[in-house]
Amino acid sequence: MGELCEMMPFMTGCSIQRECEAGRASGPYCRPLSILADACIDMGDMTGCHNYKALCLNPRSVVKQCSNAPAVPRVLHTMTTRDEISSMCSSHSMDGCQDCKGTGFSSCPNPLETLSRLCLGMPGMAECRNHDAFCNAAGAGFGPFCSAPDGGGMSVPPMRMYFHSGTYDLILFRGWVPTTGWQYALSCLAIIVMGVVVQAARALRAVTEVRWQRQLFCEPGCAPGSGASDTSTTALTGAGSKLGASGFLRAQLWRNTIRAAFTALTATLEFLLMLVAMTFNVGLFVCVIAGLALGTLMFGHILAAEPSFGDEGQGHGTDGNPSHFAATHSAAANGGCGCSS
């Protein structure tokens, strides 16, 4: 086996031998004859395998050592392993692809280790089916090939600070890494929904603010269509007189609490969408824009009518004086009440 691995160290059997000799792999499949079986099943035409084939692969063989030290039942073939690496790395930029860039054997010195690294980092891919079968057959002793270094879990995709395509990107959380087309499509749908919710929350706040402004500026007897008139500078003080000082402050505190909740919701979602866009994944970026645009399409008529009052007593275009604020906006508010000036 030593001569075989000196000539072709990239073989699957040689990778297994190195891990067994280093003590990182163990179990019955670390026996020398078992490792030789792995290599000869992988590349049976090698000169060093002729004797093994005559002794152990002959159906009439009676050598007990052959049955006591068999190859791993689903041992990976070197050429198949290289093809699976090439297929995975052609569609995804993954940690480990840099170890197998060329077509020659020297450009991919350890295919089994590289494939294991890719499959442990991105489980569930079609190219990993043979690797999964190999690990299930090999058992717990083949940890270097079958267990993630941190005890399990998906590796973090590389951060690429330029626009790129593909499905393999980390979205906000370590566990949110789409590995299939369906997972990527569902992720895009979730991002679009987030954008729509942002616009819906903004529209709901606009509606709420308009209702509050009507309550603030309308006099008790001024109902829609009544034709009653409001004196501009007494609207705010009239509301305060009706509620009393403590009642007015409680109402204002309650409204500001709701405003704070709206702000927290929209700011959280907007920053999350910003972080999604910063993955520089073209598809995810388009989904962010599509969600916000779709939300505007659905609620734009409400957002366009969003009042510019700001907080009570802090209206835009005023000096913050409540009476000046009332004077500036009472006409608009009275129009919403049905009052005429």
Same domain, 272 and 127: no
Same domain, 186 and 149: no
Within a domain: residue 167? no
341 residues of the chain, pLDDT tens digit each? 677 787 788 888 899 999 998 888 888 889 888 888 888 888 877 777 877 777 777 767 667 777 788 888 888 888 889 888 888 888 777 777 888 876 666 788 888 988 888 888 776 678 888 988 888 888 878 888 887 655 444 455 666 778 888 777 889 887 888 877 888 999 999 999 999 999 999 999 999 888 888 877 665 545 444 444 444 444 454 555 555 677 778 888 888 999 999 999 999 999 999 999 999 999 999 999 999 999 999 998 887 765 554 444 444 444 444 444 444 444 444 555 555 44
Within a domain: residue 144? yes
Same domain, 329 and 235: yes
Segment 209-214 long-range contacts (CB within 8 Å, at least 24 positions apart): 209/306, 209/307, 209/309, 210/305, 210/307, 210/336, 212/255, 212/312, 213/307, 213/309, 213/329, 213/332, 213/333, 213/336, 214/333, 214/336, 214/337
Judged by DSSP in three states, 340 sits in coil
Write out the residue range of the structural domain in which residue 235 sits.
181-337
- Amino acid, res. 196: V
Within a domain: residue 162? no
Q: Report the distance separating Cα 217 and Cα 212, nearest Å.
A: 9
Identify the H or E element spanning 309.
Answer: none
**Structural contact between residues 66 and 55, judged by C-beta atoms closer than 8 angstroms:** yes
Within a domain: residue 41? yes
Same domain, 94 and 218: no
Q: Report the distance separating Cα 238 and Cα 230, nearest Å.
A: 10
Q: Structure tokens of 280? A: 């520089």
Q: Point out the domain boundary residue: 155, 170, 191.
A: 155
Within a domain: residue 170? no
Q: Structure tokens of 115? A: 């494939």
Q: Count of domains in the chain?
A: 2
Q: What is the pTM of this model?
A: 0.50
Same domain, 140 and 232: no
Same domain, 239 and 110: no
Question: What phi, psi does 268 have (nearest 5°)?
Answer: -60, -50
Same domain, 119 and 249: no
Same domain, 112 and 220: no
Q: Structure tokens of 102? A: 């060329």
Q: Report the distance separating Cα 210 and Cα 304, nearest Å.
A: 12
